Amino acid sequence: QVQLVESGGGLVQPGGSLRLSCAASGNIFSINAMGWYRQAPGKRRDMVATITSGGSTNYADSVKDRFTISRDNAKNTVYLQMNSLKPEDTAVYYCNAIITRYNNRNPTNYWGQGTQVTVSS
């Protein structure tokens, strides 16, 4: 089995910064890609940023130039550095990973439990 554990969420003021971490563990042969998604109350879950095994990144227009996604392959960990935070960034942030397990040829999507980010004065 595979699990993703997020950390780093919390309450910050507008203009502040926060760094989220997500560590994958378990029966992992390789991680094809990792990313962050967020969901506000009453809203759909939207992509925030993704990064492939080759280092290619993709960002939602609303967070470009403010957020940076990175990964540490040796630690099976993905990070999201969030700067210049706005109230509209408030949401539950979920870690996602596409993982190939030992003795299984099919990559599978996994989700973390989510971590709350609140931006408020």
- Please state, in angstroms and rounded to a whole number, the distance separating the CA atoms of residues 13 and 86: 8
Residues in the chain: 121
Model confidence over 5-52: pLDDT tens digits? 999 999 999 999 999 999 999 999 999 999 999 999 999 999 999 999
Token pair recorded at residue 53: 């095994």
Model confidence over 52-88: pLDDT tens digits? 989 999 999 999 999 999 999 899 999 999 999 999 9
Q: Which of 2, 11, 9 is nearest to 96 (CA)?
A: 2
Q: Which of 73, 37, 30, 75 is nearest to 55 (CA)?
A: 73
